Amino acid sequence: MNLDGSTFMRGVGVVPASTMKEALALFDAYLHDKEMGLLELWKCEQWDPKAHNSGSMEDEQINHAASKALETNLIHYTCGISSEALDCEGD
């Protein structure tokens, strides 16, 4: 459980990898190192900046995280929101 009482987080993990299989293995290891686990994977796709160019804050965050991931060769997590915050959105 997180400090705000949330039981899960939802977000976008940007993984620098050559193949989908490698990306999934690296992401699983990343989560394990952070003592987290994957509850559900909605989508896994190769990053294309043209696919994330709507000008929305989410697209800007994904593009920034992807650029950082490529620069540093590290996984970057973005667009995160906790289960508690999601509950508040519905109100």
Which tens digit of pLDDT belongs to each residue from 42-67? 888 888 777 778 888 888 898 899 99
The domain limits of the chain are 12-89
The pLDDT score that the predictor gives to residue 91 is: 55
Structural tokens at position 9: 């987080």
Q: Looking at 1-5, 14-18, 31-35, which range is the least confident one?
A: 1-5
Report the C-alpha gap between 50 and 90 in whole angstroms. Answer: 31
